[in-house]
Structure 1
Amino acid sequence: MSEGNVAADQLLLYIERIERLEEEKKGIGDDIKDVYLEAKSTGYDAKIMRQIVRLRKMPAHDRQEMEAVLQTYLSALGMD
């Protein structure tokens, strides 16, 4: 077997793995969407829930810094 065929076979394996993972990612994305829809149907605000999920991913220091800057901007605009 030539070296070119081995490289092509390996490349194909990588591509197929990526395709499978992309399909799994799509399935997980659909599952997450379903959870938000379920929460919305029971009266929760999905947009706010998304913000909370995003904030929970942030380190506490970064979140506090962001909130301080937000408060500064709101004050500057007279929205506090």
Structure 2
Amino acid sequence: MSEGNIAADQLRQYIERIERLEEEKKGVGDDIKDVYLEAKATGYDGKIMRQIIRLRKMQPHDRQEMEAILQTYLAALGME
């Protein structure tokens, strides 16, 4: 087998792996959407849930820093 064929086979394998992963990602995304819809049907606010998830991903120090800056901005705008 020539080097060109090996490279083409390797490229094809990468592309096919990426395509499979993209399909899995779409499936997971659909599942997440379904959970948000289920939560909304029971009275929860999806926007707030997304915000909580985003905050939970942050390191505690980063979250505290962001909250302090937010409070500073709110106070400067007289919104506190």
Normalising by the smaller structure, the TM-score range is over 0.9
Q: Which residues of structure 2 form unaligned runs of 5+?
A: none
Give distance in 1, aligned partners of 2:54 and 2:32.
14
- Per the alignment, residue 33 of structure 1 pairs with 33
Same amino acid, percent of matched pairs: 85
Give distance in 1, aligned partners of 2:30 and 2:65.
33
- Per the alignment, residue 55 of structure 1 pairs with 55
Q: How many residues align?
A: 80
Give distance in 2, aligned partners of 1:68 and 1:34.
34
Q: Which residues of structure 1 form unaligned runs of 5+?
A: none
Structure 1 segments, 4+ long, off by >2 Å, are: none
TM-score by length of 1: 0.99
